[in-house]
Amino acid sequence: MTAEEADAPATRGRARKYTQVLGVIYQAAVEVFAADGLAGASTQAIADKAGLSKAQLHYYIESKEALYRQVLQDIINDWIGVFGFSDEAFGPRKVLTDLIQRKMLFSFEHPLRSRIFAAEMMRGAPVIREMMGTSKQRTNQAAAVIQNWIHRGLMDPVDPMLFLFHLWAVTQFYADHAAQVAYFRDVPVSDEKDRRYLTEQVTEFLLKGAGVR
């Protein structure tokens, strides 16, 4: 589970020179942060995993916190693409199905980063909060879209915000608890066909829960 993820961020458009080493550091940081959290992570552990000396590591990074922030920032960037609604005109069934698919895919392919994000959230998002005014606006917009669909009778009159929570909770579960999922189901999550199965089940469950037509 620890190293299962080829989880480099989209480094297009960064400085050229460092990139390779930075990628290694980044990956190491993701693994260590996912395993031990920000407070529990040690630069020594990150350096070891990256095959660098601590001094070398600190040449590339500004500080442990900065590295953590960078990881978070990348996650957030990817997140926007994942969690954004496509055109609401397509109706809830298509839009939400797409969204759930993207979210599940992200859970499967980036469990470690997904977990870092969740852990940060669970702590009350102290670091994220000072990085960005939390996307309350964006979330409210999404809720409004859902409210609109409800008005138009395209889905049951659920509380839009709660529905978004539930969607997030269920899909996130497959990233956060990959180990448990595999353990209880006796199926390695990485299996491609199984991923499709899980995605279908989750989609159906969520859509049905909200009475999406």
Partner DNA sequence: GATGAATGAGGGTTCATTCAT
Partner DNA sequence: TATGAATGAACCCTCATTCAT
Q: Is 126 in the site for DNA (CB under 7 A)?
A: no
Nearer to DNA, 63 or 201 (CB): 63
**What residues between 22 and 61 interact with a second copy by CB under 8 A?**
35-41
Q: Which two tokens stand for residue 213?
A: 């037509």
Q: Can you read off the two tokens belonging to residue 95?
A: 């839009």
Q: What is the DSSP letter of 84?
A: S
Nearer to DNA, 22 or 150 (CB): 22
How far apart (Å, rounded) are the C-alpha atoms in residues 23 and 21? 5
Question: Which residues in 53-112 contact DNA (CB under 7 A)?
Answer: 53-56, 58-60, 63-65
Partner from DNA, a second copy, none binding residue 56, C-beta < 5-8 Å depending on class = DNA
- How far apart CA 199 and CA 103 sit, in angstroms, is 9
Helix, strand, coil abundance in the chain, percent, nearest 5: 75, 0, 25
CA angle 170, 175, 179 (to 5 degrees): 110
Site for DNA in 7-46 (CB under 7 A): 17-18, 21, 41-45
Task: Tell which one of 185, 190, 191, 213 touches a second copy (CB under 8 A).
Answer: 185
Q: Which residue has the tokens 């159906």?
A: 204
| Shortest separation between residue 122's beta carbon and DNA, angstroms | 20
Token pair listed for 204: 């159906």
Rounded Cα–Cα distance for residues 72 and 128 (Å):
7
Coil, strand or helix: which one is 210? coil
52 binds DNA (CB under 7 A): yes
Instruction: List interacting residues with a second copy (CB under 8 A).
Output: 1, 35-41, 115, 118-119, 121-125, 134, 136, 139, 156, 158-159, 161-163, 165-166, 168-170, 172-173, 176-177, 179-181, 183-185, 198, 201-202, 205-206, 208-211
Instruction: List interacting residues with DNA (CB under 7 A).
Output: 17-18, 21, 41-45, 52-56, 58-60, 63-65
